[in-house]
Copies of this chain bind each other. A is one copy, B any other.
Amino acid sequence: MADQKATNVHWHEGDITREHREKTLGHKGATLWFTGLSGSGKSTVAVELEGTLHEMGVTSYRLDGDNVRMGINKNLGFSAEDRTENIRRIGEVSKLFVDSGVIALSSFISPYRADRDQVRELHEAAGMEFIEIFVDCSLEAAESRDPKGLYKKARAGEIKNFTGIDDPYEAPSKPEIHLHSDQQELAEEVQEILALLRERGIISA
């Protein structure tokens, strides 16, 4: 009986650890950090990957502007200080997900190298996988897509400090994965990521 089992059987190795949770889930936790210009296709890749992982029985969770800027970071603006704090908090939340055994798909422009490197160090210091995925795309291509009409507003001066227009995007120097979303097929991009996840033993073949 489940009731009996729950109280009479005990784990004997102390607290439940990340390894215990990963065993239940059948895969390892990791943060996949998608960085790139607005309109570069970060979310498109993350969504496609999420669906593919789901079909493989892998639990991933997407962190993006929708569930973060309106939630945990709703008291942050867009000053340099607040942008750094924005990424710091997202990095900490991603790390909690890795610790829970889930694969965090964190998709943010995150234009500053120092901020991203801090998130990487946070993970690596804890022995956690951090995979930086540079969703590279020419400004021209991203601007021509302009899915949210933001480039148009930035060009018109209605949005200030817009990445790629009047604020810099600092490209990763050594990303684990460098995608070219203006030249590659989506399926190919997803395969490239899955290959690395297998290579690192995060998911099984």
**A: number of interface residues (CB 8 Å):** 46
Q: Would you call B7 and A191 a contact (CB within 8 A)?
A: yes
Give the oligomeric copy count: 2
The interface residues of chain B lying within 8 Å CB-to-CB of A7 are: 52, 187, 190-191
Q: Do most interface residues of chain A lie in helix, strand or loop, or is the interface mixed?
A: helix
Contact of A190 among B2, B6, B92, B97 (CB under 8 A): B6
Residues of B within 8 Å of A54, CB to CB, are: 11, 16, 20-21, 24
On chain B, the residues within 8 Å of A80 by CB distance are none
**Of all chain B residues, which has the CB nearest A20?**
B54
Which A47-89 residues sit within 8 Å CB-CB of chain B?
Answer: 47, 50-52, 54-59, 61, 63, 67, 71-72, 75, 85, 89
Please tell me which stretch of A99-107, A128-136, A159-167 contacts chain B, meaning at least 4 of its Cβ atoms lie within 8 angstroms of it: A99-107
